[in-house]
Amino acid sequence: MKESETLPNTLALGALCAALVTVLTMVSVPVPGYRLYFNLGEGGVYLSALLFGPRTGFLAGALGASAGDLILGYPMWAPLSFVIKGLEGFVTGYLARRTKPIWAMGAGALVMITGYTAGAYVMYGAAAAPVETMTDLVQTSVGMVAALAVLRPLKNLLKERFKKSAPRE
């Protein structure tokens, strides 16, 4: 889908996608021993970026993941999530226009894994970094599979829906 041309439309779509990411982020499992958690928000970031492009991907990732961190009681992660998940959504959406979705998501996953592993290292020390990396590998993989599973049907549904609602000349 083509990214919206107007700022109000981009912001509205970004807010809806951010809400999706927030809800999926709240479907979470804490990782014992550290203030880390596994969640399903990745699929929402990838789907938003693949369907609507880099700006919406950025808004969905940055706002949705940060809100999820705050709601779940991980406020120390919210500023990092804003940057990391925002960049993940932007990179995925940007590359999706130039390559296959799996490669775009893989690049986004690399941004996410690198960012959060560095964050865990700084906050909790070297022992937390491999735990974070493994959790993020699983999380991004699950997100990719989920996004790919619904991408084509959702694209077709949106095309059909917006074709029906297009103004007649």
The DSSP letter of residue 2 is: P
Residue-level pLDDT at 5: 61
Amino acid residing at 22: T
- Which of the two residues, 144 and 8, has the higher pLDDT score? 144
What are 45's two structure tokens? Answer: 């970031």
For the chain, the structural domain boundaries read 7-29+36-150
3-class DSSP assignment, residue 36: strand
- The class level of CATH for 7-29+36-150 reads mainly alpha
Residue-level pLDDT at 38: 79
Give the residue-averaged pLDDT of 45-67: 96
